[in-house]
Amino acid sequence: MAKRFNSEEERDLFLKEPRIASLMYWGAEPAPIGVPVWFEWDGKTVRMFAFRTTPKINHMKKNPNISVLAHNRIGEPEGWVAFDGIVRISDISVNEWRPFLDRVVPKYWDLSDPVYAEEIESWRAIPESFVWLDLNPVSIRSGGA
């Protein structure tokens, strides 16, 4: 099978498009757990966020080894990028939170929908309820046709 990405630039262009990623981590069960996440890739770090009280946060504190997999959309040529490494969990500051939401949310939600807009406004008001999940990958794998 031919490789989809012939350069880091091609891979990074793929990752700039809105994509839901799967965050895989170790939970209480013997099999890994995968959940969908919004993410931002800056060429060095995969940045995600989560409510600080979700069970996945406690699991990742116990075992911070994770993978994040972003893949093609239906109708798009096959392609995927996987990031592997140790997640860093940290508090979110207001100064970082609002600009992050301004950049990332419009990729995933249409804020002209009042339900989505109201939800995001509630998130903006409570940055202390969330944590950053930052991954500086030790390996980046990719493939596709």
* CATH code of the domain containing 65: 2.30.110.10
Name the band, by pLDDT with cuts 50, 70 and 90, for residue 145.
Answer: low
Residue-wise pLDDT for 53-93, tens only, equals 999 999 999 999 999 999 988 888 889 999 999 999 999 99
Mean pLDDT of 105-129: 96
Residue 43, domain member (yes or no)? yes
Domain that holds residue 55: 8-88+132-143
Domain count, the chain: 1
Q: What is the pLDDT of residue 1?
A: 41
Residue 95, domain member (yes or no)? no
Residue 49, domain member (yes or no)? yes
Residues 6+ apart with CB under 8 A from 63: 25, 26
Residue 98, domain member (yes or no)? no
Residue 12, domain member (yes or no)? yes
Long-range contacts from 54-61, C-beta under 8 angstroms, 24+ separation: 55/27, 56/23, 56/25, 56/27, 57/89, 57/131, 59/25, 59/26, 59/27, 59/28, 59/33, 60/25, 60/87, 60/89, 60/133, 61/89
Name the band, by pLDDT with cuts 50, 70 and 90, for residue 4.
Answer: confident
Residue 51, domain member (yes or no)? yes
Residue 83, domain member (yes or no)? yes
Residue 108, domain member (yes or no)? no
